Amino acid sequence: MSEEGEPSLAPGTVVADRYVVEQLLGSGGLAEVYQVRHAELGSAHALKVLTWRRKNLVERLRLEGRIQAQLNHPNIVRVTDVVRLDGQVALLLELIDGVSLDLFLEDRGALPLSQALDLFAPILAAIDYAHEAGVLHRDLKPANVLLARAPGGWIPKVADFGLAKLLEDSAGSGTRTGVSMGTPGYMAPEQVRNSADVDTRTDIFALGCVLFEMLTGRRAYEPTEDSGGQVEITATIERSPPRITELVPDLPEAIADAVAQALIRDRLARSPDCRTFARALGLAEHPSLEALPGATVVPLISDPPPEPNRTFVEDPVPPQAPQAPQAPQAPQAPQAPQAPQAPQAPQAPQAPQ
């Protein structure tokens, strides 16, 4: 944002000679995201522009852009281009028509177990794929999961890979705790103590926090107003969150065990990887985790089906109705007179004999 609070890029601005800015989609302390359209192809994209101006940020973000561009998975937001912009660098991302998981949960609260697991399985699949590619997310949270609208449901997509690592490196302090190395309330204890000392189990802890929130409607480590995240950071190091069955008693104990295993503060005892976590949740055979070529659509639970679906169902009905009038053809039955067999009916009286 400019000093006047206006978007840095006005509608109509042409970026990299080919992307035309249409509107600001959102902004935060670190970046602005715009909807842009390719001038020649007409395709829509999201343009993410970092607002920090640090000496080595440009090259680091270009590197992270290359890494994420190689993460070709249906549940990961794709990076399609990296462009220069006034000495800065910007990422072109696939444009998602949907809502972030944090806003989804804010609106609905705790989700039914089946819906929560169906949404969570694709997230697990995305992170498992990234880990296999040697990439750690480091900032997993509901705000970094987008739910893309699809006919009849949602497709979860994980966003912002590598951003936390990038900011950590640019800050010049590999061991200092703070928001730049993750988000308080979702960071594992080892990440809080030393942001460079992280591995796949660090992401597992964050995934446990995300699922905890989906199942209970509250955070594993509740924030305190004006705490600056320090309360959550201290709590992460000093105590474990409550068992989810203390908050939602009717949840299966096996699910509570799996979440608790992901949230163990000692990472040596924590679930080591996404596949182990999935098995503990009973998701090992879920379609999202079977390396299918396309994304699995998670059905809507309480929302009505999209209009096109209702229209599709109604279309076949009218043709059938006219067929009913064909019933009058039944009068053709009078042709039955040709069958003298009808008179045989009188033989029925023989029954009395």
Residues noted as catalytic = 139
Estimate the share of the chain in helix, then strand, then coil, as percent rounded to the nearest 5: 45, 15, 40
Measuring CA to CA, how many Å separate 301 from each of 104, 110, 155, 210, 280? 13, 13, 14, 20, 24
- Write out the DSSP string of 62-106: HHHHHHHHT---TTBPPEEEEEEETTEEEEEEEPP-EEEHHHHHH
212: which 2 tokens?
């905890």
Of 184, 158, 165, 201, the closest CA to residue 236 belongs to 184
The label of the residue with tokens 């103590």 reads 193
SS3 165: helix
**Residues 41, 44: Cα–Cα separation, whole Å:** 9
CB-based burial label for 319 (10 Å; 0-12, 13-18, 19+): exposed
Which backbone phi and psi does 315 adopt, to 5 degrees? Answer: -55, -45
